[in-house]
Amino acid sequence: MDFQFNFAVDENENSEADAHFLLLGSPKDKQESREKSREAADPAADSSLKLAAAKHRDEAASKKKLCVKAAKEHSIPEDLNKVLENKVMETVLDLIHVKLSVVEMTCSGDADSEGIVSNSVSSHSDLIPGVYEGGLKIWECTFDLMDYFSEAEIEFTNKTVLDLGCGAGLLGIAALRGEAARVHFQDYNSTVIDEITLPNVVANCTSEGRGMGSGKDRKASKPPSKRPRKAEGSPDVLKRCRFFSGEWSQVSQLLLNSNKPCSKYDVILTSETIYNPDYYSALHDTLAQLLDRNGRVYLASKVHYFGVGGGVYLFEKFLEERNVFRTRMVKTIDQGLQRCIMEIAFKNSC
C-alpha cells in the first residue's frame, strides 16, 4: 500500500529541513547512504553481493528440501485389544472406522508425539505442510474412488496393493475385502498410522467385524456398535498387511532396501494427495519406483485445490512433461467441487 504526503514549505524551510535531516539522520539512513555510494562506485561489488545472496537463498531452500520425514515401519501388536483400546467406532459404506472427533479429543501425550492433533485443532487447519498432511480426516474423494471400484469392477484378487497417503486406510481395507494378496498402508504421520489406520484395519479384520470376503455380501452385514471394540483372535488377514509412515521418497527407499522382500505393486491407490504442486516430483518418483511394470495407479482428486494450487489437470500436465506414464480420466464427478478419478500406467505397459 502506497502513501503520499504533501508538505507546503518555502525554500528556506526546505533547506533547513534538509540540514536538520542530514545532522540527525538515523544509523539506518547513514548505512543506506553508504551502501548506495558503494553501489554507484563499484557495480561489480554490488553484483557479487547479489550473487552471494542468491546462492545463500538457494542453499537454504535445498536444506529445507532435505529436511524430509524419515520412514518407519509400524509393527502390529500381538495384543490386538490394545490397538482398539478406548476407540469409539462408526461405520461408512459398511466399513468400520475410528470416530475421528473422539481421536481429536482424546489423543495427547505419547499418543500424539508429533503434536499433529494439538496443532491441527489449535490452528483450525486440516493441513500444516511438512507437519501434518490431513490424515485425521476422511476426504470426499476417498468415497468417490470406493464407488468407482464397484462401478468398474476393479479386481484386487491376489494383487499386491499400496494405499498411498492412506489416512483412515479405507481404500486399502476395500482391497483386503477384495481378497488382495498383500496390502501396505502409508501415511506421512506416524500418529495417523497408530491411532487411526491400524485400529481401522484391525477392527475390520476381527471376527466381529466380518466382511473381508469379496464384498458381494456387504449389505447383509450389521452396523457395528459405537462402543469401544474388542478384537477377537488374530486373523490371518493381518499377516497380509504392513504399515509405514514418513515422506514418500523415504518410504520408497525403506521398502526397496528392506530385509523383507517386497515386490512392486500391482495396484497403487491414492486419494487427495496432489493438492500441493511442491510434492509432485516426489510422488511421481515414488510411483515410478514402486509400481509394477504392468501395474495401475488409481488417483482420486479435486479438479483444483483453492489456496494451495494443485489439482488433477496440473498433475496430469506434470506427468506428461516427465514422459514416463500415460494417464486416462476414467470418471468425473460434478456434484459440489468437481472431482476426477485418473488411471495411471507406464507408457510401455500392457
- Tell me what pLDDT residue 323 has: 97
The DSSP call for residue 279 is G
- Tell me what pLDDT residue 32 has: 53
Cα(86)–Cα(83) distance, integer angstroms:
9
Let me know: does 87 contact 209? Beta carbons within 8 Å. Answer: no
Q: Find how far residue 26's CA is from the centre of its chain.
A: 49
What pairs with residue 343 in β-bridges? 298, 328
Let me know: does 221 contact 211? Beta carbons within 8 Å. Answer: yes
pLDDT string in tens for the chain (350-residue length): 444 434 344 444 444 444 343 334 444 454 554 444 444 445 554 555 455 555 444 544 444 444 578 999 999 988 888 888 888 999 988 899 998 878 877 776 666 677 766 666 666 666 667 666 666 789 899 999 999 999 999 999 999 999 999 999 999 999 999 999 999 999 999 999 999 999 999 999 874 444 444 444 433 333 444 554 555 544 688 999 999 999 999 999 999 987 776 789 999 999 999 999 999 999 999 999 999 999 999 999 999 998 888 999 999 999 999 999 999 999 999 998 999 999 999 999 88
Grid cell of 342 as nine digits: 485418473
Let me know: does 175 contact 269? Beta carbons within 8 Å. Answer: yes
Q: For Cα atoms 116, 103, 337, give the angle at the middle one, nearest 5 degrees.
A: 75
Let me know: does 269 contact 171? Beta carbons within 8 Å. Answer: yes
What pairs with residue 73 in β-bridges? 244
Grid cell of 49 as nine digits: 553481493
Residue with cell 483412515: 168
Pairing state between β 241-245 and 339-346? unpaired
- Tell me what pLDDT residue 5 has: 38
The stretches of 153-211 forming alpha helices (DSSP H) are: 170-177, 190-192, 198-205
Cα(64)–Cα(250) distance, integer angstroms:
15
Let me know: does 250 contact 213? Beta carbons within 8 Å. Answer: no
Describe the crossing of helices 140-152 and 170-177 by its angle, rounded to 10 degrees: 20
